[in-house]
Amino acid sequence: MRIMLRTLYTSIGAVLIAASPCLAAHADDILGAWFNSEKDARIEIAKCGEKYCGTIVWLKEPNYPEGSKDGIPGSPKTDHHNPDLLLRQTPIIGLRIVRDFSFAGENLWKDGKVYDPKNGKTYKGRMTLVSPAQLDLRGYIGISLIGRTTTWTR
């Protein structure tokens, strides 16, 4: 019985070791369209030179609703929280919110910046590809411990 269990555990371990390279991400595995955690925006991650960036390509509600105080009802939403007054009329669709990420190996992209158009702030960022359909994006100030992680899905 002990020999059978030892053989079973050895076989399971060998399968897990053999399968682990399949779980490792390649640099371009994050390319493509991702929904933010609220599913009210879709972001297209692309190569920008040697680094990775992301642009908002779709909004669930692309125009200001009736009674909006942020913009003219019926007009396209703009980056009205941007700290640069000259950029406040930039449309949200087409806005680059992820930039300068580098692939660090082991399912991690780091050293990038994340812009949040909901508050006009830019954060340091890192992205972790949890699975082919799940990307965790962490925005932080200073060190990674002081921040927030959101989950994007394909």
User: What are the structural domain ranges in the chain?
Assistant: 25-153
pLDDT at 142: 82
SS3 32: strand
Helix (H) or strand (E) holding 4: helix 2-23
C-alpha distances in Å from residue 2, one per residue of 6, 11, 130? 6, 14, 36
Q: What is the mean pLDDT of residues 73-79?
A: 97
pLDDT at 12: 41
Q: What is the CATH number of domain 25-153?
A: 2.40.128.520
> What is the pairing mode between strands 96-105 and 51-59?
antiparallel
Asked whether the predicted pLDDT for residue 20 surpasses 60, the reply is no
Q: What is the mean pLDDT of residues 23-45?
A: 94
Phi and psi at 38, nearest 5°, equal -80, -10
Radius of gyration, alpha carbons of the chain:
20
pTM of the shown model: 0.82
